[in-house]
Chain A
Amino acid sequence: MKRTTDNLIYLDSAATMPIDQKVVSAMTACLNNTEVIGNPSSLNNAGRNAMHDIEIARQKLANLLHTNKDNLTWTSGATESNNLAIIGAARFRSHLGRHIITMATEHKAVLGAFDYLEKEGFQVTRLIPDSNGLLKLADLKEAIKKETQLVSIMHVNNETGVTQDIVKIGSICREKDILFHTDAAQSIGKISLNLDQLPIDLLSISAHKFYGPQGIGALYMRKAAGCGVIPLHYGGEQEKWIRPGTLPVHQIIGFGVAAELALERSEDDYLIMQDLHKRLWDGLKNIPGIEINGTIKSKYPGILNVSISGVDGESLILLLEPLCVANGSACNSKNNEPSFVLKALGRSDLQAQSAIRFSFNRNTTHEEIDITIEKYHEAVRYLREIAPDELV
């Protein structure tokens, strides 16, 4: 068993971003500082220092989201936030109705929570997007019943980058007094959101998707009558009883710094992503049989997902080494099943199976993109060369 680090070109940033060195420095300083690393629930000086730093980090995240810091609850990441938001809110409002709505192309952390609630007796509607990956608003309106209490639609899709119109979706929900949750793991820190002005009730965030540490996330919950969650865990008063457990101080401090950096950089970063996306797609688009998965018109440019005919995805990934790319989402990529997200977009098993997701970060260089283009061309050429003629 050996770890491979030589010549890696990391284009799997939608799975996890490389941590920013300023984040590392802040976390290291925290871990090295015995004054601060007390238990933030303790009332002694070390504990109070820790809680002080946690609240500063919470304020930094609140600044990024343009909301009050009291609306934010620390979690272990977006998966936990999604579970807490969906299961917690559905149970919180179950006395009003037990119908909940989501979309078939959500992250598994959302779909899994809906599956769980379905077993608990909730009625679930899973909307199918159009072939571009976009939710049809008419379908949402049609699916809403008087028993509907929660809608969960992600902002940026983790496989395709397709970006849903959460303003319109949230407005539809607000009109009907339905809670609207969005999994924003792929958009926070990259696309500016003003949560105090958007019709969003619950929003899931993950630090490691925007240069922060793994293992820390947050749930935004709007303060309003009828908006709440029943906790999933019990046994402590941390996070106002919503999410008990000792808070990881160094991770939260790192998260705060990542939020601070995102507030400064996200607009510039977006332009960098557009440039990288264009450069890569310009280099690939002339290969016969290649196509983009998901619309290019409403899409976060940090993700490019392409399928190609006559080529096996697993073989393609191996030939692309040392490029680090994904076939399907990272959570999904260790089984050989074609991506359910791409299948929901109407892609065939073969199209979905050949899909590669390239995802960038602010450190991705033009040279890396050019090497990627060259390697992709070479890999496709080889696999088509050995394939039976009529498959190419």
Chain B
Amino acid sequence: MNEFISKQIEPYNDLTRELFTRGAYKDNSVYPKGGVIKARKGSLDDGLVAEIVTIVDDEKIVAAKYRIYGCPHSIASIEWICEEIDGLMIDDLNKIDISSLKNLLLIPIEKTSLILLLEDVLDEIRLQLELK
């Protein structure tokens, strides 16, 4: 069966489904002690609004939380990103490869823009950390 038909029959792989409903990093507005860095990109008109809040203490990201409006792939992606950056030293943020989500979550080509938007969110976090 070719890839196109496979994606029509099952558009979400197991990892996407797991991350989509897990909600482990959803923002519950309860933060540990530290500096709050927040970045948000997207708009309702684009069908995707993504916000990541990081709590930084002593050069380390001690918590990462998100809020999001979007499709299952975007929700799964932001859950993955927050898991990846939680506990990371801020110098290591560059090591996060958001483009790998394309294969990890089998994100269809027509949704590539969500990866770019989430990269923008993470870039904004990095920028704010550098300016601090």
- In the assembled complex, the CB of B74 is this many whole angstroms from the nearest CB of chain A, namely 8
Could you say which residues of chain A place their CB within 8 Å of the CB of B23? 382, 385-386
Partner of B9, one of A1, A312, A314, A385: A1
Tell me whether B131 is interfacial, beta carbon within 8 Å: no
Name the residue of chain A whose CB is nearest to the CB of B66. Answer: A386
Which residues in chain A, 1-28, are within 8 Å of chain B measured between CB atoms?
Answer: 1-2
Q: A334–B70 Cα gap in the complex (Å)?
A: 17
Could you say which residues of chain B place their CB within 8 Å of the CB of A1? 1, 6, 9-10
**Are A388 and B40 touching (Cβ within 8 A)?**
yes
Q: A315-B20, A334-B8 are in contact. Are A388 and B110 (CB under 8 A)?
A: no
Name the residue of chain A whose CB is nearest to the CB of B8. Answer: A334
Q: A334–B47 Cα gap in the complex (Å)?
A: 16
Could you say which residues of chain A place their CB within 8 Å of the CB of B1? 1
**Are B69 and A310 touching (Cβ within 8 A)?**
yes
Partner of B67, one of A315, A334, A382, A389: A389
Q: A315–B67 Cα gap in the complex (Å)?
A: 14
Tell me whether A339 is interfacial, beta carbon within 8 Å: no
Tell me whether A391 is interfacial, beta carbon within 8 Å: yes
Q: A382–B26 Cα gap in the complex (Å)?
A: 10
Q: A388–B66 Cα gap in the complex (Å)?
A: 9
**Are B8 and A315 touching (Cβ within 8 A)?**
no
Tell me whether A350 is interfacial, beta carbon within 8 Å: yes
Q: A391–B51 Cα gap in the complex (Å)?
A: 12
Number of interface residues of B (CB under 8 A): 27
Tell me whether A336 is interfacial, beta carbon within 8 Å: yes
Tell me whether B45 is interfacial, beta carbon within 8 Å: yes
Partner of B47, one of A312, A383, A387, A388: A312
Q: A349-B45, A388-B40, A388-B67 are in contact. Are A314 and B6 (CB under 8 A)?
A: no
Q: A315-B20, A319-B21 are in contact. Are A353 and B69 (CB under 8 A)?
A: no
Q: A334–B26 Cα gap in the complex (Å)?
A: 28
With A314-B71, A314-B72, A386-B26 given, can you name 17 additional A-B contacts, CB distance below 8 Å? A312-B47, A312-B70, A312-B71, A315-B70, A334-B8, A336-B71, A336-B110, A350-B44, A353-B47, A383-B69, A386-B23, A386-B68, A387-B69, A388-B40, A388-B51, A388-B68, A391-B44
* Chain B residues at the A interface, C-beta cutoff of 8 Å: 1, 6, 8-10, 12, 17, 20-21, 23, 26-27, 40, 44-45, 47, 49, 51, 66-72, 75, 110
Q: Nearest 4 A-B pairs (CB), nearest first?
A: A314-B71, A388-B67, A386-B26, A387-B69
Listed A/B pairs (16) with beta-carbon separation below 8 Å: A1-B1, A1-B9, A1-B10, A315-B20, A315-B70, A315-B75, A319-B21, A336-B110, A349-B47, A350-B47, A353-B47, A382-B23, A383-B69, A386-B27, A388-B69, A391-B49
* Chain A residues at the B interface, C-beta cutoff of 8 Å: 1-2, 310, 312, 314-315, 318-319, 334, 336, 349-350, 353, 382-383, 385-389, 391
